[in-house]
Structure 1
Amino acid sequence: MRFRRAGDVMTADTVRAGPSTPVADVVRSLAERGIGGVPVVDEDDKVLGVVTRSDLTRRGGGTGRSGRPGVAGGPGTAGPTAGELMSVPAVTVRAVDSIALTGRTMAARDIGRLPVVDEEARLIGIITRRDLLRVFVRPDSDLRDEILDEIVVRALWLDPAPLTVAVVDGVVTLRGRLAREADVSVAAGMAARVDGVVAVVNELTGRRARASG
């Protein structure tokens, strides 16, 4: 079975800036796109840092009358650049990283969006907490269908007829008797890894293999 990765749910249409991009342009991008930050990349699209609304406010920015981030400086003054205000080093995730790892990284760093990079560390997208929520907040019926089809039938090659899979608010309850006791823990473990599953109540039983000799 296939579990979703950061690259599966990221937004590929990514606003980005270069180190020399005027912060005024960054502010404009944040306001127009309604986003909280932009990655700063070099000529090879490798992520150097990130400029967020907090960076703009904390490092000589401020907010205008609309409450949007502003940039200090008046007419005729050279404003700061993205490279001067960006936070470094940038926290990124790889496109092949799991959704669970991506969520843990966001939680540990208390950030709401992460640049997604390829195997050569080049920027290919952005993933946000909202993207993760779309994965984890799934209808119970979808979870049940995926467990039955992808795990029970396709992965373990089991007959689903003697099994009951119930899902309520993301909590999966497995009931029934399997032909092999060894499959009991395997089925429960695989169900727990399905994106959107909160917990698994394992009430499966299985027949013990007869000792030879």
Structure 2
Amino acid sequence: MTTQPFTVADVMTKKVLAVLPGAEFKEIVTSMERWKVTAVPVVEGEGRVVGVVSEADLLLKEEFHDHRLGLIEQMRRLDATAKAGSRRAKDLMTSPAVTVAPEASLPQAARLMAAHRVKRLPVVDASGVIQGIVSRADLLKVFLRPDDDLAAEVRHDVIEHLFPLSRRRVDVHVDGGVVTLSGEVRDSTRIPLAERLARAVEGVVDVRCELIAQDAGGDEK
């Protein structure tokens, strides 16, 4: 296979809104509204990410604005009540931040988001310095790849490698990201692998495999 998988660096947003630990509550809210984002990294020094302030962190102030908690609930929600009474990023942020490396794969980033229930991840280098930010929407960018590009990649990286002798009898058609493989191949044992590899091409939505074995049989070597 010759095509390199997409990484976080390929889809991330490089222009990032970030705040310093001393940023005030209203400043953070105003910046998030202006940039239309739901969370901002908190950075210090040369841009090292030390935490993230999200809408959820900020909304705690509204949640507890006129709600007096009993002693047991206060003890159970110490972190939340502390944030509700805070006004600077260093006290509002969730730390340590959940981050991802630029070279991470898109499935790795998606799993991190799902596991930590976050909508975006700061992208940091080995020193923890921010390089960009990746959101759920960014991870979906691969599904915007043109059908012609997908067809060319499936043909080159899947069909030509698995079926070198019968590749000309295989048709690769892509419509709306859905790949259809049809035609005759010599080695029927490789058909399931062809379907699996085609499905793994980034940007492919689904695969319909209609490949059949030639009557003559024989392997593809």
Equivalent in the alignment of 2:205:
198
Paired residue for 2:142, among 126, 130, 135? 135
Equivalent in the alignment of 2:177:
170
Quote the offset at 1:209 in angstroms.
4.0
Deviations 1:109-153 (A, max 9, x none): 332211112233321100112212222244433322332244444
**Alpha carbons of 1:164 and 1:157: their partners in 2 closer, same or farther (altered >3 Å)?**
closer
| 1:10 matches 2:17 | no
Paired residue for 2:108, among 101, 117, 126? 101
Equivalent in the alignment of 1:67:
none
State the AA in 2 paired with 1:162. R
Equivalent in the alignment of 2:68:
none
Paired residue for 2:34, among 32, 35, 38? 32
**Alpha carbons of 1:125 and 1:61: their partners in 2 closer, same or farther (altered >3 Å)?**
farther
Quote the offset at 1:27 in angstroms.
1.9
% same residue = 36
Q: What is the distance in 2 between the residues matched to 1:131 and 1:147?
A: 23
Paired residue for 1:119, among 120, 126, 150? 126
Scaled by the length of structure 1, the TM-score of the pair is: 0.76
Quote the offset at 1:13 in angstroms.
0.9
- Partner SS for 1:173: strand
Residues 167 and 185 in structure 2, CA contact (< 8 A), matched pair in contact too = no
Q: CA RMSD in A?
A: 3.1
Q: What is the distance in 1 between the residues matched to 2:130 and 2:203?
A: 27
Aligned length: 197
Q: Which has the higher helix share?
A: 2
Deviations 1:71-111 (A, max 9, x none): x99xxxxx721010011232222111111222233234332
Structure 2: unaligned runs, 5 residues or longer:
65-83
* Correspondence list, 1:8-87, <5 A: 8-59=10-61, 80-87=87-94
